[in-house]
Amino acid sequence: MLVTTKRYADVLVVAAAGRIDYQNADEFKAALMPHLENCGAGRDQVVLDLSQLDYISSAGLRVLMIAAKEVRARQGKLLAVTLQPVVREIFEISRFTLVFDIFDSVQEALAKISPLALAAYESKSP
């Protein structure tokens, strides 16, 4: 499991890759939560890029629920994008599709929350 970040203006794109299960959920939480500290109304928004995530178990989903609650408490936005088919089905069966706004691409999510970040993303894209 690997967590990396990229900044586009006021949006932080946090990418999780690999598998998240009960054995590394703590590690995922420790890697994810610090990125949410500046998230809130008038500050950063966070997009979770799950395009390289192969599997997420209930333990990982619980971390995402904690993250979503924390961001909501700060009036921030936390979006999920580019879920692989298996992860998308897990989100649907677990009803996490009701917890997260899900988009098909980073670009689509940025267009929804920050024109500034979208412009920065498009200027960096080949």
Summarize as ranges the residues that interact with other proteins (CB under 8 A): 21-23, 25-26, 29, 55, 57-63, 65, 69, 86, 89-90, 92-96, 98-99
Nearer to other proteins (CB atom), residue 36 or residue 63: 63
Q: How far is residue 84's CA from residue 88's CA, in Å, rounded to a whole number?
A: 6
Nearer to other proteins (CB atom), residue 29 or residue 112: 29
Closest CA to 51 of 119, 109, 7, 9: 109
CB 71 within 8 A of CB 36: yes
Nearer to other proteins (CB atom), residue 89 or residue 122: 89
Task: For the CB of residue 14, give the shortest distance to other proteins in the complex, in Å.
Answer: 18
Task: For the CB of residue 13, give the shortest distance to other proteins in the complex, in Å.
Answer: 24
Task: For the CB of residue 38, give the shortest distance to other proteins in the complex, in Å.
Answer: 24
CB 9 within 8 A of CB 42: no
Taken in order 16, 62, 99, 67, the sign of the CA dihedral is negative
